[in-house]
Amino acid sequence: EIVLTQSPATLSLSPGERATLSCRASQSVSNKLAWYQQKPGQPPRLLIYDASTRATGIPGRFSGSGSGTDFTLTISSLEPEDTAVYYCQHRASWPLTFGPGTKVDI
C-alpha cells in the first residue's frame, strides 16, 4: 500500500498570501496524484489531477506540481473561501489512498 503524508497539518495565513501544501508518497506514483478541497459539511471537490492539471471550473490560483514521490499544491493568492481541508490521493495502484489532509485557515 502506498502511504501519502501531508505537511503541514495546519496552515494559518491571511487573504492574498501564498499557500504551499506538500504531499509525499512512500514510493513513486509517477504523476498519478490528485488534490481535493473539502469544506465543512460538504463532499470533497476535485481541484487538480495527474499532479498538475486543473479540473473543470477550478480557478487559476490553484496549481499543482511534482512527480515521483514529492508533490505540491500552491494557492497563489488566498481568498477567504479557500478555508478548507486539502487532501492528496494517488491512483498508481490498489488500494487507492488519500493523505491525512492539510487544514488551511484564512
> Which among 11-19, 29-37, 59-67, 68-76 is the span making contact with another protein, rule CB under 8 A?
29-37
Backbone angles phi and psi of 75, in degrees to 5: -110, 110
Residue 97 within binding range of another protein, rule CB under 8 A = yes
- Residues 76-95 binding another protein (CB under 8 A) are 87, 89, 91, 94-95
The full length of the chain comes to: 106
Site for another protein (CB under 8 A): which residue of 11, 25, 34, 106?
A: 34
CB 5 within 8 A of CB 23: yes
Q: Does 105 bind another protein (CB under 8 A)?
A: no
Considering all CA atoms of the chain, what is the largest pairwise distance in Å, rounded to the nearest integer? 38
Residue 104 · residue 83 · CB < 8 Å: yes
Residue 50 sits in the site that holds another protein (CB under 8 A): yes
Cβ 30 to another protein, closest distance in Å? 12
